[in-house]
Structure 1
Amino acid sequence: MKLVIVDDDPLVRQSLTLLLEKETDFTVIGVAANGEEALRLCEKHQPDVILMDIRMPVMDGIECTKRVSETWPQIRIMMLTTFKDEQNIRLALNAGAKGYVLKSSSIDDMAQQIRTLAAGSSVLDADVLKEIVSPTEQYQHVDQLTKRENDIVEAIAKGLSNQEIADLLFLSVGTVRNTLSVILDKLELRDRTQLAIFYWKQVRK
């Protein structure tokens, strides 16, 4: 798996590169100190996953995420930051980030989160979810979900891919995919990230 690390702190770039490249399935193909450098790396190397800092000079991570998502939608972006305030989280997700993980995460957890992200699932740190799930917000149509649909929602919230959900629930991948579309339609949600937020708010409250 090809990774690009984007952070304005050279020590962060160096340490993440050394630690992640110990994983046999990861190759760090480039590092960047700001969003502009990251865009050039995307143009040249087409990475699978970008670990993106938020606050950087020249071009910050939010703007870079927006541009990468528009130009190379197949590239998965994980925000990797010390900031877990609601505004930054929402801006990152709206810009196209599919993951938001804190730098305080262990390298083992981070590696697994990268794999989950690359497999097509969204990844949100539990502390991050707490920031964006307001206890006063209400989702509608909760009772419309069947037991199977609730099982799939729970699995998605835990970061499982469609294949993993299919194996867990003894379903075909096509059935999982189709059921997910039905769930999103019922709950009037846009994607797996919103569905994960729905789960942590409604089911685990």
Structure 2
Amino acid sequence: MKILVVDDDALVCKSLKVLLSREKDMEVIGTANNGAEAITACRTELPNVVLMDIQMPVMDGIRATRQIKLDWPEVHVMMLTTFKDEKNIRLALLAGAAGYLIKSIEVTSMAQQIRALMSGSRVLDADVLKQLTEPTNREELEQLTPREKDIAGLVAEGLSNREIADQLYISEGTVRNTLSVILEKLQLRDRTQLAIYYLKNNNI
């Protein structure tokens, strides 16, 4: 399989290229130092897997992942970073990353995870999985106004925008606009994710 390594640390790129190239079924076809270079490399080399850092100059890894998955949906993106906070994890997965590993992982384990990624599995570091399954921080929930909480609860009950508008005596346009604000605040993609989020934290 063809692998592209994306990291603004030249030493990381060089080390991963040497170490992963020792795997018989892997070929590091290139490296990039930021998200923009990664997109260019995908255009010219079309790798099977992109190992993507998050914080980089010019274009960060999350923006680059979103663009790569839009242009080349068949490319598998594995985030490889030092960040393991829930915000970055969620943004990366929403952007289209199918894997999220922490840089402290051993290369042998990384190779195994890359193979799992290629087979269609979602690959998450143990610390990352813990972040996603633990209850959400109350500070994040308290970002919502009382009206936003009401709408989130009704979405979780399966009501449509029209039904929510009728129940709360507001316009359907207000519901739609408020829902967009809620999704932005909680960094969720759609009402389905909002419903799951609400049910997971049902005292919102």
1:24 aligns with 2:13: no
Q: Which segments of structure 1 move beyond 2 Å, counting only runs of 4 or more?
A: 134-137
Whole-Å separation in 1 of the counterparts to 2:127 and 2:36: 29
Larger Rg: 2
For structure 1, the residue ranges without an aligned partner over 5 or more in a row are 141-187, 195-200
How far apart are the structure 2 equivalents of 1:17 and 1:136? Answer: 37
Q: Which amino acid aligns with 1:94?
A: L
- Residues 127-186 of structure 1 show CA distances to partners (whole Å, capped at 9, x for unaligned) of 10111212479xx9xxxxxxxxxxxxxxxxxxxxxxxxxxxxxxxxxxxxxxxxxxxxxx
- What is the aligned partner in structure 1 of residue 118 from structure 2? 118
Q: How does 1:27-106 map to 2 (within 5 A)?
A: 27-106=27-106
In structure 2, the gaps of 5 or more residues are 138-155, 157-191
Identity value in percent: 57
Equivalence map 1:162-177=2 (5 Å): none
| Alpha-carbon separation, structure 2, partners of 1:63 and 1:135 | 27
Q: Distance in 1 between matches of 2:112 and 2:136?
A: 32
Deviation string 1:55-105 (CA, Å, 9 cap, x unpaired) is: 000000000000001010000000000110000000000000000001000
> Residues of 2 paired with 1:72 and 1:49: CA distance?
11
Equivalences, count? 142
Task: Give distance in 1, aligned partners of 2:119 and 2:41.
Answer: 22
Name the CA distance, whole Å, in 1 between partners of 2:127 and 2:79. Answer: 14
SS in 1 for 2:88: helix
Q: TM-score with structure 1 length normalisation?
A: 0.66
Pick closer, same or farther for the CA change 1:126–1:63 going to 2, 3 Å: same
Name the aligned partner's letter for residue 8 of structure 2: D
**Cα RMSD (Å):** 2.0
